[in-house]
Amino acid sequence: MRSERSQLMRACPLMILPKGLASAGDPIDFVLPGHRVFLGRDRTLKLDCGVELSEFPVAYQAYGRLNEDKSNAVLVCHALTGDQFMAESHPLTQKEGWWDLMVGPGKPLDTTQYYVLCVNVLGGCMGSAGPSEINSETGEPWGLSFPVITIADMVRAQAMLLDHLGIEKLFAVIGGSMGGMQVLEWAALFPERVFAAVPIASAAHHTAQNIAFHEVGRQAIIADPDWCGGEYWRYGKRPHRGLAVARMAAHITYLSEPKLHEKFGRRLQNREGLTYGFDADFQVESYLRHQGISFVERFDANSYLYITRAMDYFDMAARYSGGLAKAFVDTPIRFCVISFTSDWLYPTVESRRIVHALNAVAANVSFAEIVSNSGHDAFLLDEPEFHRVLKGFLGGAAQHRGLPKTPTE
């Protein structure tokens, strides 16, 4: 592994924004912060679809310091539309990182104690191999010729990055939503490389309803004439409208009815009364439009197709005859499964299914259902009980792993 590592040691501190995201006709590439390495030279990445990827980029960001024996690494797996910039101002939107509340000194993922990594998933659009990246063989973006990837493929790519970084075993792998799916795959594929695993607001398979919502999003993109059969970059276009509609529909599933009611009710947007037209009369409409518009600034439409597909294909139990529990037989990992009461996208019953499977193999598992009315998005928000539980679980796990306690504890 050492020779492989030295060969692969080509981490660049900066990277170029993938072509697909550069605004139409803009010749100037935007430079993203963070790290980017090319993997798969010595050993290709064999994808579930049969294609083998060689020399593919993986972009990641890291916070905190790796300790001497490399035992304090925490991998955070991001969700569908997340990226590696979880605890800093986002390079494209300048908004705070999606897990700023969770990652940093004194926070549950305390960067004075842990080395916290986040990797842009395979199929993503923030530096890792995906449809908007350049295919080195053709010299132009992959587009729809990029192979269809799976959650397991994402995890295998992350494992290759860890090989590259010389990290044998993660202290913890943590993720919400699609990140939780990656956590489960980590536990199933590389049980010896994970000490603790925390799937949050997640599921071990995509339900018909999950697939249905994703299909609405994909069809919105495909129906946009600017999608151009998936080759929009050729024509200097981007399917903004389709992608925004996809985001709007998806965003509803991340909230809850009580939360929407609390946030917006039937309140009107900057007007005294109804306009009897199709303007955004209601605040909730205006909010969703804003969500859609701001999303397209930072996300690639084809990536959205690929990643939602990977999630739809996710069904861990199907891979093992005899059910989900078979994926975790003799697992040495300490699990902490967390769900939220108002999450109807990945409801508690799905987390409980995971817990039941883990109990069936007598795994070491904690499970907490957090009371919240914020819906699926609760894992991104200021939920003190959730943060307390996660911090406590990690503290207990760190003690068993023999990691030093933080000074604040």
Partner 1 sequence: MSAAPPNTIRADLQLIADMIEPGSRVLDVGCADGALLDHLVNQKGVDGRGIELSVDGVNACVSAGLSVIQGDAETDLLDYPDHAFDYVVLSQTLQAMRAPKSTLEQLLRVGRHAIVSLPNFAYWRLRWHLLVTGRMPVNTTLPYEWYETPNIHLCTIRDFVVLCRKMGVTIDRSISLDRNGVPLGFGSKLFMVNLFGEQAVFLLRT
Here's the x/- map for partner 1, 330-369, by CB under 8 A: it reads as: ----x-xx--------------x--xx--xxxx-xxxxxx
**Residue 258 contacts by C-beta under 8 Å, 6 or more apart in sequence?**
342, 373
Contact predicate 280/286, CB 8 Å = yes
Our answer to whether residue 35 is catalytic in this structure is: no
- 227-266 residues in contact with partner 1 (CB under 8 A) are none
Q: Which is nearer to partner 1, 155 or 397 (CB)?
A: 397
Per CB under 8 A, the segment of 119-127, 227-235, 295-303, 382-390 that binds partner 1 is: 382-390
Least distance in angstroms from the C-beta of 369 to partner 1:
5
Q: Which is nearer to partner 1, 118 or 394 (CB)?
A: 394
Q: Which is nearer to partner 1, 151 or 398 (CB)?
A: 398
Instruction: Name the pairing type of β-strands 364-370 and 140-141.
Output: unpaired
Q: Is 396 in the site for partner 1 (CB under 8 A)?
A: yes
DSSP letter string over 140-180?
Answer: EE-GGGSPP--HHHHHHHHHHHHHHHT--SEEEEEEETHHH
Q: Which is nearer to partner 1, 293 or 361 (CB)?
A: 361
Instruction: Choose the catalytic residue: 177, 202, 256, 351.
Output: 177
Least distance in angstroms from the C-beta of 390 to partner 1:
9
Q: Is 399 in the site for partner 1 (CB under 8 A)?
A: yes
Measure the CA–CA gap between 197 and 73, rounded to whole angstroms. Answer: 12
Q: Is 388 in the site for partner 1 (CB under 8 A)?
A: yes
Instruction: Choose the catalytic residue: 35, 164, 205, 376.
Output: 376
Among 58, 197, 244, 397, binds partner 1 (CB under 8 A): 397
Our answer to whether residue 376 is catalytic in this structure is: yes
**Residue 137 contacts by C-beta under 8 Å, 6 or more apart in sequence?**
none
Per CB under 8 A, the segment of 6-14, 25-33, 226-234, 387-395 that binds partner 1 is: 387-395
Total residues in contact with partner 1, by rule CB under 8 A: 28
**Residue 270 contacts by C-beta under 8 Å, 6 or more apart in sequence?**
none
Our answer to whether residue 343 is catalytic in this structure is: yes
Residue 336 CA: distances (Å) to CA of 178, 201, 243, 315: 16, 11, 34, 20
Least distance in angstroms from the C-beta of 335 to partner 1:
8
Instruction: Choose the catalytic residue: 153, 281, 343, 377.
Output: 343
Among 49, 385, 404, 405, binds partner 1 (CB under 8 A): 385
Q: Which is nearer to partner 1, 33 or 395 (CB)?
A: 395
- 277-336 residues in contact with partner 1 (CB under 8 A) are 334, 336
DSSP letter string over 209-223?
Answer: HHHHHHHHHHHHHHH
Q: Is 392 in the site for partner 1 (CB under 8 A)?
A: yes
Least distance in angstroms from the C-beta of 75 to partner 1:
21
366-370's contacts with Cβ under 8 Å and 24+ in sequence apart are 366/334, 366/335, 366/336, 366/337, 366/393, 367/336, 367/337, 367/338, 367/339, 368/336, 368/337, 368/338, 368/339, 369/338, 369/339, 369/340, 369/341, 370/338, 370/339, 370/340, 370/341
Measure the CA–CA gap between 73 and 206, rounded to whole angstroms. Answer: 29
Binding site for partner 1 (CB under 8 A): 334, 336-337, 352, 355-356, 359-362, 364-371, 385, 388-389, 391-393, 395-397, 399
Residues with catalytic annotation?
177, 343, 376
